[in-house]
Structure 1
Amino acid sequence: MLRRHARLALTALATEAAVGYPDRLHRRLPHPVVGIGALIDAAERRLNRPERSALERRIAGVGTVAGTAGLAVLAGLAASRLPGPAPVLAATLGLAQRSLHDHVAAVLTALEAGDLDAARTAVGRIVGRDVAALDASGVAAAAIESLAESFNDGIVAPAFWLAVAGLPGLYAYKAVNTADSLIGHREPRWRDFGWAAARTDDLMNLTPARLAGALIATAGGRGWRIMNRDARRHASPNAGWPEAAMAGALGVRLGGPVAYDGVLTERPSFGDGPAPTAGDLRRALDVYVRACGLLWAAVAVGGRAWRR
């Protein structure tokens, strides 16, 4: 079973890297994550009412995550029984190698052309921070940080759960990760309702995040020392591993204070080097591509090592 899952994961990784999720298709058929997000949003508006107690909202949040993940598992089971190449195509929907590369490359293209406004617009599509006041270095840093973190959330973790538990595992991870991004926040509105989403996402990313950091450090030829030293500084138990590894691999400094909705937020720094430049962003993309290749190799080797 595990060997079959690993073969599916490897084939899906290769297929998604080649074709991604074309914009033409997205315009006609929104990505399934959009549907997951709509379900979670509807549940949040219906169940996360301020007049309810904290305990009631927490229980409602647990139910929302369990229900959404359960539906995702059922969808994965159904997709795994489809004939021909359909399961592979269904698996590509949970991966984001191509789209992540393309979005970050768009930021790099604008920076190298000296078009700071276009670079801010491009990076604003992949980060949640305020981008209007970012200089070129700030744009490069935002893109590199998003590239590193999304390498785990959009590629390594989905591939891990696909290889371990097939399409049900992949879809369950995407449901939980989407829930965390929408409601797993610390602000008062979501603190109780989103508790289950945040904790479940933390749990499901424990192993993949560390694997992602290791792949980045290996692909970059360095970064192990910075990763081991700085990863735990992050407020998240997982996000710091790929970000610190990327900072170490590039020899730059990432993290530090950023603004969200006009409010300055203090964040830890990763690495000892200077602030990144457009050239560092190009090198980050090269590291990313090599890390994806290493992931493919790890899945292939792991699949052969697992018993049927």
Structure 2
Amino acid sequence: MENQVIRLKDDYMILSNPRDRREVIVLDKKEEKIILKFNLGPQFEKVQLDFEAVLRHFVSLQSLSGSIEGKLAMKLLQTHPRLFDLAGFTSPALKEDYIQYEFGRSIRPESLYETYLGPEGKKTFILWGISETSLTLSRTLSSLGMSVSIMEPSLSEREDIQLQKLLTMHGSSSVEELYGERVQWVTPEDQEGVWIIDNRLLELNLIDADRALGQIASSIAVHYGCYTDEFTVGPLVLKEESYGYTEFRKIHGGTPALPTVPQSMIQAGLIQRILYFIHEDTLKHLAEDVQLPINGAFAFDNDSFNSKLIDIEGGW
């Protein structure tokens, strides 16, 4: 069993008795009844146990031995194995559980209100721009089982210093070798989906900007860029229902610059979090605090990494 992971089945809940913390109860959620009770020693009377945090997602048996809840779960596994799901490290169930854990730790839908509903169904994320940011996104999104496509670079982009630097840094002879066989290469006419586009392509005329913006106008798009003073994520463009790149550049006149790896990692992390909202078929944000760069962009100082929100709507 050392090569297996366990989690508590969805039908059950383990918790401390709120009236007597020395007593642990097991609930059958479907039957809505207590099916098991057992007592702990008096030393647990003031201990706050959280079985949900420890057992709701798959965890290795070795990890369980490091917590009180885990040790109790291992005893229950021996006496009441029907309470738990068991899986191997390579099982599809473990990967699916990992994906749900990713979403759950990144977005909190229960505290949000809906602002936009996108088309349901499987999303294809199209990365337009060869950069450290898009390379990181292609790898992490693919590992989560999401559909990822890469826009074939134009001749001008292939000759750009950003692409050449990326190949040199990773010791690759070509873009195709760098990204590998796990992604699909497309042209603008090939594909519809959610676009993640590097502003550098538009600002240095590495592609036909008017044609590119026309291509993504009827879709959802996320922009990102790096400039001499700051790097940005956003705007997130909801078809024609929010301000887009053109309005962004009218109030942000930064000069394009090459990103560093730490800057690219921050961009990739923020973009991936935005894509989680899109993947879940709804885009949401808090009433008091913006979580998504709709009608705006997140900007980070290149030196201090201090952040701010560029308000496109308020800038007009």
TM over 0.5: no
- What TM-score comes out, normalization by structure 1 length? 0.24
Higher relative contact order (CA 8 A, sep 6+): 1
Larger Rg: 2
Structure having the larger proportion of residues in strand: 2
Structure having the larger proportion of residues in helix: 1
- What TM-score comes out, normalization by structure 2 length? 0.24
